[in-house]
Structure 1
Amino acid sequence: MLRPLARCGQVLGHATRVATLVGLILHFALTLLYVFPLNPVKMELGFAANLTIGTYFPQNWSLFAPTPVQSTQVLLVRCLSAEDVPEDSSRPLPSEGWEDVSSAHFKQAQRHRLSAYERLVRPLQNSLRTYLNGGPDLYPFHEACEKGDTRACEARDIALKPRRELASRMFRRVGSAFCREAFPHRRFSAVALRFRERGAVPWSARAEGRSKEQDFELGLFKLDETVTLPGIYEAQGT
């Protein structure tokens, strides 16, 4: 009785090792496919990398060539009570009372590279980048659109719309968590979100130059009462 069981255990062990090896090879192959610049192979098989690596293990290598990061993306939040919510959604929101919910965490992540700040800010940071340009796979469409290719502009806009909607849902959760946690004794019903992009200062103007800022209104959202409070927010004022 022991001999067949021993052989069964050996077969199962070999099968487990082979399956693990194949899984690792497939994982790293999809990772390379995901981070590679756009090429014919990626155009044909990129959907598999997006469904796996892009969904569960997203990578962003834009710090390096050929398209290094040239701006900082910041999420601004304004918590609104029922009385503060404008009846006409087309009316501009007040310029005061906005809170920067991302810069402090970015700075802490830069100061403490081995801390958990990098993990805390990554969902927000990736969502901000997704909202801005849709992801590395859309870079060629952005470039072609800037050169006057109308079909590239249409394809980019079609692909960008659902990605921005997904990013906006993440922003709403972050904004709702901030409002509920930073002001625990106040009652809010909505959260206004604003996206701010700060351009990099050229090295030649590093001493006296100032970065250019551009704001984009993300909209007014109902406060999410179900989001889990992370325990990292407090009101600072901007």
Structure 2
Amino acid sequence: MKQRREAFILNIAVLSLSLFLVVHFFFVVLHVGPLNPVSVSFKSVTDGYVGRFFQQNWHLFAPEPMTQNLKLYVRVKYKKQDSAKTVMSNWHDVTEPMIKTNQGTLFSPYNRMLRIGSGYIHQLYIGGKDDLTYKLMDKISEEEKDSKEINASLENDSKEVEGIIYRYASAFAKREFSEVELTEVQFMTSVSDAIPYSKRGDSLFKVKETNVVYDWKGVVKDVVKLP
């Protein structure tokens, strides 16, 4: 009887894993494959699944690897204890400290948090989509004359990514300002060119940096502070 029960549990586990793998690869293929009616129908599901757990793009590889550095800065408005006065903080670099912590600790949650943050910043910078997807969507819009619908989709994606970064910024703010009452949070993205190899030893060389400042918003309540 015990052997039958163990065999039954094992069969259920194998079947469940097999079904999961089928669904997993189905979502991944739809997400990374060319746009088609099926992938568009499942877009909200595949974006939520693949984008949340397996976020990546092809910019690491040739022929056009990324040549820019992306950073996130956060500042907050808060009230001190026993004070009704609102104080605004300076800008805090979120990205650089995480990079240093990740480099010094091989096994830590910072690796994942860093990649999530940089991935969403990159999405926001390019409008929420990979540039190859933009080319495909432009081609589709020219053929089917549905550019309004596509532009609306792109705008919704950008707003969704922006909302995620506000949550990320709120989690950072709760860690850095745990002793005060937070009221609002604001973030700024920074894009700078990588230092050319020929200038690697020149301490006076300055790269061009472009900053985009986003609006103040209330601190997101249902996020925990970063570790």
TM-score calculated relative to the size of structure 1? 0.67
Q: 1:24-50, CA deviations, whole angstroms, 9 ceiling, x for partnerless residues?
A: 2442354355345xx4xx434434476
**Counterpart among 193, 199, 217 of residue 193 in structure 2:** 199
SS in 2 for 1:185: coil
1:107-146 alignment, distance < 5 Å:
107-141=100-134
Tell me, in whole angstroms, the C-alpha distance in 2 between the residues paired with 1:143 and 1:10: 49
Structure 1 unaligned runs (5+)? Answer: 86-93, 232-238
Residue 194 of structure 1, CA deviation: 1.1
Q: 1:101-145, CA deviations, whole angstroms, 9 ceiling, x for partnerless residues?
A: 122113333454443321122332222122112455553426997
CA contact (8 A) 2:193 2:208 kept: yes
Residue 212 of structure 1 aligns with an amino acid whose one-letter code is K
Q: 1:52-107, CA deviations, whole angstroms, 9 ceiling, x for partnerless residues?
A: 3425533314212354222222111111136558xxxxxxxx9x811111221133
Residue 75 of structure 2 aligns with an amino acid whose one-letter code is R
Tell me, in whole angstroms, the C-alpha distance in 2 between the residues paired with 1:138 and 1:16: 40
**Counterpart among 53, 74, 77 of residue 74 in structure 2:** 77
Residue 189 of structure 1, CA deviation: 1.4
Q: 1:65 to 1:172 in 2, by over 3 A?
A: same
Residue matched to 2:31: 34
Residue matched to 2:82: none
Tell me, in whole angstroms, the C-alpha distance in 1 between the residues paired with 2:133 and 2:116: 24
RMSD: 3.7
Residue matched to 1:219: 215
Tell me, in whole angstroms, the C-alpha distance in 2 between the residues paired with 1:110 and 1:227: 26
Residue matched to 1:68: 65
Q: 1:75 to 1:9 in 2, by over 3 A?
A: closer
Residue matched to 2:173: 179
Residue 175 of structure 1, CA deviation: 2.5
Structure 2 unaligned runs (5+)? Answer: 80-84
Q: 1:114 to 1:13 in 2, by over 3 A?
A: closer
Tell me, in whole angstroms, the C-alpha distance in 2 between the residues paired with 1:26 and 1:9: 26
Equivalenced residues, count: 210
**Counterpart among 96, 100, 106 of residue 103 in structure 1:** 96
> Identity rate of aligned residues, in percent?
20
Query: Higher mean Cα deviation, 9-18 or 206-215?
Result: 9-18
Tell me, in whole angstroms, the C-alpha distance in 1 between the residues paired with 2:213 and 2:72: 10
Residue 78 of structure 1 aligns with an amino acid whose one-letter code is R
Tell me, in whole angstroms, the C-alpha distance in 2 between the residues paired with 1:12 and 1:181: 43
Residue 214 of structure 1, CA deviation: 0.6
Q: 1:29 to 1:210 in 2, by over 3 A?
A: farther
Q: 1:181 to 1:22 in 2, by over 3 A?
A: closer
SS in 1 for 2:170: helix
Residue matched to 2:159: 165
Residue matched to 1:235: none
